[in-house]
Each structure stands twice: as C-alpha cells, then as structure tokens.
Chains A and B, each alone.
Chain A
Amino acid sequence: MLINMKLLMSIVFLAVTAGPVLAQETLEIGAAMPLKSKALPAVSGAQTSIASVKGDKGTLVVFWCNTCPWVERYEDRMVALAAAYQSRGIGVIAVNPNDAVAYPDDSMDEMKKQAATHGYSFPYVSDPGSEVALAFGAKRTPQAFLFNAADVLVYQGAFDDSPSDAAKVGAAYLTDALDALLAGTEIAMTETKAFGCTIKFQ
C-alpha cells in the first residue's frame, strides 16, 4: 500500500513537473470502454464483466466502495438512478477498486452486506489489482463513467453538485447526461468533478 501511494505521489509529482502521465490519465470523452470483458468477482458469487451488463442504450460504470462517507451519501441516489435507467436500456455496474487487505470493510463479505442492505439492482463487483480503475484512470469514489451503445465514453464525473444533501441538488450532472443520451441530444456537461475519497489502489 505504501509503495503504491509513493508511486502515485511520484507520478503526480512528475505530472506537475514533467507533463501528463499516461498511466493515470482519466479516460477522455470519446474513448472506448477498456477491459470490458474482464471477469470480475460479483457479490452474487458469480464472475461478471462490464460487457455482460451492457444495456441497449448505454452502460454506466460507477467506481464505488464501502468505506467512503461520500459514497454513503449517494447510496439512495445510486439505487434510485439505477432503477430508473436500467428499465430504459442503460446497463449499470458498481466497481469497488479498493484494497480490501488494507481496508477490510471493503472485503467481498462486506460488499455483499452493503448490496443486500441497500437492495442493489445492479452488480457490485470487486476489482482485483485495481486494474479496471487504473484502465479507466478513475481517481475517486464515487466517480461515474457513462458509455453510449457503441461503448464510447460520453460522460465522466460526479452525480450532481450536492453530495451532502440530495434535497439541495442544483445541477444533476449524471441524470442530465443520461437523459441526453437517451434522447439522442448533446450532453451539455461531459466532464465534471466533485470531492470524494481517494481510491485505495491495490
């Protein structure tokens, strides 16, 4: 863990002093979905890939975990959003890239409890080696990546502008992007940011 953190620090240090570093770059809009066929252990006990949840209209991949209070604040919003858009042709999957050895609350057993407690209607998978997170260039939880039907990235970023309080959402970035995707119109904001938890890379 310490080595990974030091590596990340040196990478970002380099990013400031020596230009962009490809390994940690977040996927750009228009990029193809990486590692979509990789088998990932799911809370169901099965192996699930991102491709297997692909919807007719698109796929939403959300980096998620058990140990981030900001994820906790989005539990209800995530469940409601998934229910609303799965029925409209959007596949949904939550990926936990955190190091479960260093953070036991992110273990598969705990993930199963979390999925059951909140009634997830979507697969919740772990990400051995944090390989999917690295391939996506994901940096934090929660962080959403929305792909169109051709598996091309059309939105990346936050759910909305009010992590602390669902009642005070002013800009619903992700649902706006989903609605635009389904309507076949231009997505107004394709990349957004929000405060969140660092990914505890394995």
Chain B
Amino acid sequence: MHARRTSHHLALALTGLLLSGCAAKSPDNNALAPESVSYNDLVKEISSRKGQVVIVNFWATWCMPCRIEFPDFVRFGKEFADRGVDVVFVSTDYEPDMPQVIDFLKENGVPWESYIKTGVDFEFISSFHSEWSGALPATFVYDRNGSLRAFWEGITSFDELEASVTAILES
C-alpha cells in the first residue's frame, strides 16, 4: 500500500506538471477514494512504513471535532513530509456514507491515499489498542521503528501535534 501511495504521489506530480503554468492544482484533482482496511490490513500498513514517523488519525464525517482538527492534520502532513512524517487518515464511517467521506477528503485537499475501516467496530477498536475507548477523534503516533509512542482521544491543534511529533523525531 505504501508503494501505491508513492505511485499516487508520482502520478499526481506528473498530472500537476502537465496542468501547471495556468493554475494551482485543484484539491478535487488530488482526492482519492479511501481504501477499505481491516484491523490486520491497517497494522500491516503501519508496519510497512517503518523508517517514517506515522500519525494515524481516526475520524468520521459525523464527528465535529474530527472535522475541525482535520485541516491541521492535512497541513501537518504536507509540511512535515520531507522530515519523514506520514499522516494516515482512517475514516470510521460506514460504507453507505462513502460519498460524504470522499467529498470531505476532496474539500480538505488530501493529496495522499487514505483509508476507511471495515469489520465490527468493537473488534476493530479493541484489537487496535486496548486503551482506546472508541471515542473520536483518536490519534496514534508511531516512531520510525513502528513502535507506538503516543495516543490520545480528542481534538488536537497543529501546534500540539507539532510538539508531540517533534519530540519523537528528535528522540
């Protein structure tokens, strides 16, 4: 999945180059439909990104704090990409809500691949982390070795995210 993400970046960059010279890229052109992931798929995806600091943000279209903090995560992902930070969005919406999920990703100009969880909520939450209550938003930060270094439930600002991730980058 990580390889596909890189391919998407390349494809987007090429598209951008082809269209450049007249206007900035429209966020709509960058948005990608999220890929469905089970708990196991997501664990593999995180593991495949060793060498990067990985921020996994669980959100939902119905969750107002998620919607409020989301642009800060997108900005953070863009600004910290060259420092080896990946932001991985995982929607917890249900399949029938996919159009709203895609619309929201488009509105926020998410330029990288994101995900939508599948399976029973209880099993997904409990398997992912025993201390996660299921409250949204929820954010998990992994270091370059793939070890979980922090998680929290609730809204986060760009500055708070920066403080948390910078500590991990510099450790």
Contacts and interface: CB of A to CB of B under 8 A. Distances in A.
Sort chain A's interface into a size bin: 20 to 34
A26 to B, nearest CB: 7
B131 A195 contact: no
Contact of B153 (A69, A70, A158, A198): A198
A193 interface: yes
Interface in A151-180: 157-158, 161, 163-165, 173
B92 A195 contact: yes
B14 interface: no
A16 B135 contact: no
A17 interface: yes
A165 B96 CA distance: 11
Given A140-B133, A193-B134, 8 more contacts: A9-B152, A12-B151, A16-B150, A20-B131, A69-B63, A195-B121, A195-B135, A197-B135
B99 to A, nearest CB: 14
B164 interface: yes
A196 B122 contact: no
Interface in B70-125: 92, 94, 96-97, 120-122, 125
Contacts, number: 92
B120 A161 contact: yes
Interface string A67-92: 10110000000000000000000000
Interface of B: 60, 62-65, 92, 94, 96-97, 120-122, 125-126, 131-137, 148-156, 160, 164
A198 B133 CA distance: 9
8 contacts: A5-B154, A8-B152, A9-B154, A15-B131, A69-B63, A158-B134, A161-B122, A196-B136
Contacts of B64: 67, 69
Nearest to A25: B131
